[in-house]
Amino acid sequence: MNVRTRTVHRALAGALTAAAMTAAALTAPAAAAGREAAAGGHDRHSATRSAMEAQVAAGIPGVLGQARDEHGTWRGSAGTGDRTTHRPRLAQDRFRIASVSKVFTSVVLLQLEAEGRISLDDTVEHRLPGVVRGNGHDGGKITVRQLLNHTSGIYNYTEDPGFQKLLGPGFLEHRFDDHTPEELVRTATAHAPYFRPGAGWHYSNTNYVLAGMIVEKVTGHSYATEIKRRIIRPLGLTATTLPGTAPELPNPHGRAYSTLLAEPAPNPKIYDVTELNPSWGGAAGEIISTAGDLNRFYGALVGGKLLPKAQQQALLTGVPVDDTMPGVRYGLGVYTAPLSCGVTVWMHTGGIHGSSTIASSTTDGRHTAAFNFNGDWTGDLGALIEAEYCGKAPAGQSALVKPQKTTTLATLR
């Protein structure tokens, strides 16, 4: 579930530091279908296409993308969806979106606020008595809003050293383990908080696990049920699912690959990690979707079609995430960031075993773009966003994101 190492980058990109890997056998020309700019056959997405091909050249097995704007829908792919059969990545392929899931949970809580059933200023203790306590954590001083914008200070369970071992070196042994929200919160509260509530910003998957628990407490239904009822069905997101503990990806899909390494290594072994139990992500990152569904969702989300005006304003009211990155702010489950060409976009990324995703939209909801890598050890999602919205691919690592040295598997960023 990424622009400083281990903070902003984790939420602005699901990609990791570049790894040395020969990609010649995996590289293929980008395939695309869709509506291009009219006159002269000019390809408005040539920079995006080039940026996608560059990711494959850098070692990503396959890249999938889609963009929608006033000219129509463009679809593109590069590389392969299966390193064994060399099946290409398909526009309708499903993949794990990890932390892009967070705003689905946030929208449910914002809709509940609009219905008068909850307030963003309610405390966690009020909604979940006794759940956030111990080692300096006090749910009576943390609000729902602070959960959603990551200013709660609650420790991130995926940073727990024991948990990182389960999801990194121990993944193959533990990939099908079940995890409950209560267990994840206990892992978090075994550590001291990062800061007192409201005194800082730190990305924490624990915040959204708690948000999902609050949805269930308020509605009497699981967060998954409420997401389906309030978002997936009304928007017709027919390829978007919440698998719970089910390890399979629904068809059609390619394969997902990981080196299971926290640091780059020469010629690392690559594992097929397509099947896994996503319960360790829960409301913070379990959703499976497609590029098309993500574009439809982000267009509705940022375009104001899911929330009343007051809640939409709350969604898009961001807090600074890093004083070295002026303009980068985190709202309630979405980031905003200015690009090199002056365009401002709302976005989120997600990183989980074998899958790195970014979904984005301009501030009016009219130009959306979503991309996915089926590998987690290299890549630059920010370069794709710069290429799509600014019409140019960065010469090197994009200014929007910088590499991190940590296991993407255990971040859900």
**Residue pLDDT, tens place only, 344-353:** 999 999 999 9
- Give percent above pLDDT 70 in the chain: 85
**DSSP percent split of the chain into helix, strand, coil, nearest 5:** 35, 15, 50
* Residue bearing the bigger pLDDT, 13 or 329: 329
Give the ranges where 73-230 is alpha helix by DSSP (H): 102-114, 124-127, 144-148, 161-167, 171-174, 181-189, 205-219, 223-227
pLDDT at 41 exceeding the cut of 90? no
The single residue of 46, 50, 77, 99 carrying the catalytic annotation is 99
pLDDT at 14 exceeding the cut of 50? no
Structure letter (DSSP) for residue 228? I
The pLDDT of residue 402: 39
The pLDDT of residue 398: 54
pLDDT at 53 exceeding the cut of 60? yes
pLDDT tens-digit series, residues 378-396: 999 999 999 999 998 656 5
Query: Does residue 383 contact residue 395 with C-beta atoms inside 8 Å?
Result: no
Query: The whole model's pTM is what?
Result: 0.88
pLDDT at 24 exceeding the cut of 80? no
Active-site residue, 77 included: no
